C-alpha cells in the first residue's frame, strides 16, 4: 500500500520568512496530493492540493510542487505569519476509493 513520509517533523521560522515542508510517496498510482492544516483540537483543513497532471500550483502565499518521477511533493509558504502556526499534513491518494494516506505531520511555529 501507499506510504507517505514527511519532513521535517518540526519547523520554526521568523515571521516573514519562508517555510518549506517536503513529502515523498511510494505508490506510483497515487495521483492526488492535498495539504491540510490542523490547529489544536480541530479537524484538518484543506489548504491546497495538486493532481498528477500538474507540476506546480499556487494560491496567494501558498504553493505546492510535484515531481512525479522522484515521487515527492513540497509545500511552500512565503511571508509567514504567526497565524500560520499549526500542524501541516501532506497526503496522497489514487482513484481507487479516494482514501487519503497521511504523512506524519510538521509542526510549524512562526515567531513574531
Partner 1 sequence: AAGVIQSPRHLIKEKRETATLKCYPIPRHDTVYWYQQGPGQDPQFLISFYEKMQSDKGSIPDRFSAQQFSDYHSELNMSSLELGDSALYFCASSLAGQGSNTGELFFGEGSRLTVL
Residues contributing to the site for partner 1 (CB under 8 A) = 31-32, 34, 36, 41-46, 49, 51, 89, 93-105
From the number of C-beta atoms within 10 Å of its C-beta (0-12, 13-18, 19+), residue 75 rates as buried
Cell numbers placing 22? 517536503
Residue (42 or 112) nearer to partner 1, CB: 42
To partner 1, the closest distance from the beta carbon of 79 in angstroms equals 26
To partner 1, the closest distance from the beta carbon of 96 in angstroms equals 8
Residue (15 or 46) nearer to partner 1, CB: 46
Partner residues linked to 50 by β-bridges: 33
Phi, psi of 84 (to 5 degrees): -80, -10
Count CB atoms within 10 A of the CB of residue 1: 5
Residue (42 or 83) nearer to partner 1, CB: 42
Amino acid at each position: 500500500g501507499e506510504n507517505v513520509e514527511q519532513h521535517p517533523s518540526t519547523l520554526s521560522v521568523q515571521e516573514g520568512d519562508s517555510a518549506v515542508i517536503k513529502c515523498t510517496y511510494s505508490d506510483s498510482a497515487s495521483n492526488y496530493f492535498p495539504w491540510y492544516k490542523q490547529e489544536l483540537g480541530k479537524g484538518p483543513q484543506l489548504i491546497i492540493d495538486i493532481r498528477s497532471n500538474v507540476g506546480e500550483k499556487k494560491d496567494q502565499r501558498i504553493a505546492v510542487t510535484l515531481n512525479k518521477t522522484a515521487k515527492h511533493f513540497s509545500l511552500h509558504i512565503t511571508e509567514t505569519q504567526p497565524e500560520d502556526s499549526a500542524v501541516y499534513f501532506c497526503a496522497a491518494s489514487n482513484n481507487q476509493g479516494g482514501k487519503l494516506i497521511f504523512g506524519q505531520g510538521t509542526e510549524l511555529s512562526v515567531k513574531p
